[in-house]
Chain A
Amino acid sequence: MSARVFVPADAAAVAVGAEQVAQALARHGADVIRSGSRGLYWLEPMIEVETHSGRIAYGPVAAADVPGLLDAGLGDGGGHPLRLGRPEDIQLLARQKRLVFARCGVVRPGSVDEYRAQGGLRGLARALEIGPQAVIEEVTRSQLRGRGGAGFPTGIKWRTAAEAAGARKHIVVNADEGDSGTFADRMLMEGDPLALIEGMIIAGFAVGARKGWVYTRSEYPHAVASFDRALEAARGAGLLGADVLGSGFAFDVEQRVGAGAYVCGEETSLLDSLEGKRGQVRAKPPLPAHKGLFNEPTVVNNVVTLASVPVILADGADAWAALGYGRSRGTMPIQLAGNVKHPGLFEVPFGITLGELIEEIGGGTATGRPVRAVQAGGPLGAYFPPALFDTPYDYEAFAARDGLIGHGGLVVFDDSVDMARMARFAMEFCATESCGKCTPCRVGSVRGIEVMDRIIAGEEVEENLALIRDLCETMKFGSLCALGGFIPYPVMSALTHFPEDFAAGGRAAAELAAVAPEGGGRRAAPGL
């Protein structure tokens, strides 16, 4: 009998050769099953073989390793330098609390039978049993907060939409995961898409919505395809449609694909984009819960938020709320990326410190150089220096240090990073992605680039630093949404924690002076 081998079809595993590994295994007669990823990306492509004593993992495997692995007795979990042992025992997986991502990398994505066998649909069954009111109470009591970045209490959002008058209501999933350093939504939609579908059905049932929409970014072709396949499977199994699991409740879901605009991750801009318009931000109020998609009551939730809901319903709000720190309850799938030795998804209860995450879990930088900065929460998040590594992972603790946890991404930089350049990049990104509706963001970001260029060139540095601080204040308090409003976080944190890179004669200035032809080119920093 041929060995059953699990090979991730996750886009990041495919990016490092999983497809070739799967083909090589199939050529040698293995029964290849395409799963999602466990999220231990430094070990990808990581394959798992089913043996009598459970699964045994090997990684990182290249296609060229396949004959040797088979010679070593892969089918029986035979010894080989790439053998990692039982995946559950791999230290950095064993240390996690996998609740939302429990099935990711384990099941065949979109298989309703396997989903059910691994604990799926218990949450939905309980929801249908206790009724909409009790579901909202359960979610409220769990203290679940939106995982997209804003951290708004999910139960309150649902109650508002449930109480809003309207013949038609909508559940909208924000799968426009644009923050650099984040990939939890992608991983889940590729590895366990039914968890999102189950969460959406529960949300629809709770607020009285019959239609769900998923707005997925175009940069995620694999997630789009995987989720569409899961929708088909869910319809086939009677999970979606006119009579959800025989309950009489009707619910269906449609996926729409974005078109490369970062700002469409902002919920009101996303709604305009779903309506087929320019993705421009709307002024609030009215809240989407009152007037959202097509001006009808709408719940807009992130992928991870909704995928957390089945866990809460299945195991109870108390079990969820028992985990965490301060007002941040439950687990958070934290994503480690960039220049880090162990990049991947690390789901743990809130409260772990930034230092534990970067040094112990992440293992420091991939380049082996000292960590200089960590950007937390995507392009709108602050840069933290190692001096702040005692910060607990918690919405309020990060805010108290002028940062944010955002969608859970952490991007690590070693000591070669030039923070003045990163501050300039933040302004440039904002200028590229601004929707153009409000002046502080549209014009402020362009002025921000110009001011940063003058600082980097060493022109009137003190005056220009005062100007950029003032500009950041204006953008922070005057912008309509989080794009212009939060871009000051990376800029100001870079300036606050790494002032030496902004001083006349900072890193970029020194580089400029080194390359500028004498007496020509851009002006080098004075005093050099």
Chain B
Amino acid sequence: MSVVAEWNEAAASDLIAPFAAREGGLLPALHALQDWLGHVPAEAVTLLARAFNLSRAEVHGTISFYHDFRRHPPGRRVLRLCRAEACQSRGGGEIGAALCARLGIGWGGTTRDGALTLEPAFCLGLCAVAPAALLDGTPLGRVSADSLQEAVAEALP
């Protein structure tokens, strides 16, 4: 699901409009923006506030409340690695630390060449095949430091 589009105010307004007519439509609108742009840019806040008849503070408060919504574009690929207890019990913590060291980034960081963003997840529901991750939309189970590095190899410098 590599990202993609450039910000365009008219297109963003068109995208948002149908959600403003739906009950509780702000979250679906934010998801639609992020699916389109890979993040929810600051420029969108004013548009959303106008469309939903909210203050900019309310829109900002909603965006910043949720871990999913990014304020900046991610790398070309996104790896969400589970850090919750079931994966910890199978060595997930060590695998995460090894990957951070290998990529030279911290949690939430993007490699310098923009190839990969590493995000923490607190449970992917793949606990029976722990440790687990999602590479873009693809689930990966029973991962090891090696298998994970292989999976992200094409994104590595």
- Which residues on A are within 8 Å of B, measured CB to CB? 11-12, 14-16, 39, 41-42, 44, 177-183, 185-186, 218-223, 256-262, 273-280, 294, 335-339, 343-345, 366, 375, 379, 409, 411-414, 417, 422, 425, 429, 432-433, 435
A12-B139, A425-B85 given as contacts; is B127 within 8 A of A411 (CB)?
yes
Closest Cβ neighbor of A374 among chain B residues: B89
Q: What is the bound-complex CA distance between A337 and B131, given in angstroms?
A: 10
Instruction: Name the contact of A409 in the complex, choosing from B87, B127, B138 (C-beta under 8 A).
Output: B127
How many angstroms from the CA of A328 to the CA of B141 in the assembled complex? 34
On whether the beta carbons of B66 and A11 are closer than 8 Å, the reply is no
Number of CB contacts from chain A to chain B under 8 A = 158
By a CB distance below 8 angstroms, the chain B residues around A276 are 24-27, 52, 62
A179 and B122 alpha carbons, distance in the complex (Å):
8
- CB-based contact A338/B28 at 8 Å: no
Min distance, Cβ A39 to any Cβ of chain B, angstroms: 8
B residues lining the A interface (CB < 8 Å)? 23-28, 30-31, 52, 58, 61-62, 65-69, 80, 82, 84-90, 121-130, 132, 134, 137-142
Contact of B139 with A11 in the complex, beta carbons under 8 Å: yes
A467 to nearest B CB, angstroms? 24
| B123 A180 Cβ-Cβ under 8 A | yes
Pick from A16, A222, A275, A425: contact of B24, CB below 8 A.
A275
**A429:B122 contact, CB within 8 angstroms:** yes
Whether B85 lies near A181 (C-beta < 8 A) is yes
Whether A337 contacts B88 by the Cβ 8 Å rule is no
* Contact between chains at A411 and B139 (CB < 8 Å): no
Q: A219-B80, A425-B85 are in contact. List 14 more A-B contacts (CB 8 A).
A: A14-B139, A15-B141, A41-B129, A180-B86, A186-B125, A218-B68, A219-B134, A259-B66, A260-B121, A261-B65, A273-B27, A278-B65, A379-B122, A429-B84
CA distance A183 to B122 in the complex (A): 13
List B contacts of A345 (CB < 8 A): 128
- A219→B26 contact, CB < 8 A: no
Q: In angstroms, how far is the closest chain B Cβ from the Cβ of A450?
A: 20
A-B CB contact pairs (8 Å), 24 listed: A11-B125, A11-B139, A14-B139, A177-B125, A180-B82, A218-B31, A219-B134, A257-B28, A260-B66, A261-B66, A274-B24, A275-B24, A335-B127, A335-B128, A337-B127, A338-B85, A338-B86, A343-B127, A343-B130, A379-B85, A379-B122, A411-B86, A417-B89, A425-B85
Name the B residues within 8 Å of A429 (CB-CB): 84, 122
Q: Are B27 and A182 interface neighbours, CB within 8 A?
A: no
Q: Within the assembled complex, what's the spacing in Å between the Cα atoms of A16 and B141?
A: 5
Residues of A within 8 A of B31 (CB): 218, 257, 259
Cβ contact within 8 Å between A180 and B129 = no
Chain B residues positioned under 8 Å from A39 (CB to CB)? 128
The answer to whether B89 touches A338 (Cβ under 8 A) is yes
Which partner residue on chain A sits nearest B133 by CB separation?
A15
Q: Which of B58, B84, B125 is most buried by chain A, counting CB atoms within 10 A of its CB?
A: B125
> Chain B residues near A11 (CB, 8 Å)?
124-126, 139
A409 — which chain B residues lie within 8 A by C-beta? 86, 127
- Which residues of chain A come closer than 8 Å to B61, judged between CB atoms? 278
**Are B67 and A261 interface neighbours, CB within 8 A?**
yes
Are A412 and B68 interface neighbours, CB within 8 A? no
In the complex, the answer to whether A180 meets B127 with C-beta atoms within 8 Å is: yes
Q: Which of the residues B65, B82, B137 comes within 8 Å of A221, measured between beta carbons? A: B137
Q: Which of A14, A178, A275, A413 sits near B123, CB closer than 8 Å?
A: A178
User: Top 6 A-B pairs ranked by shortest CB distance?
Assistant: A15-B141, A276-B26, A180-B84, A259-B66, A337-B127, A41-B128
| A221 to B125 alpha-carbon distance, docked (Å) | 11
Q: Given A339-B90, A411-B85: A179 and B130 within 8 A (CB)?
A: no
Instruction: Select B86's contact among A178, A181, A294, beta carbons within 8 Å.
Output: A181
The reply to whether A15 and B125 form a contact with Cβ atoms under 8 Å apart is no
Contacting pair B123 A338 (CB below 8 A): no
> When the two chains form their complex, are residues B90 and A338 in contact, meaning their CB atoms are under 8 A apart?
yes
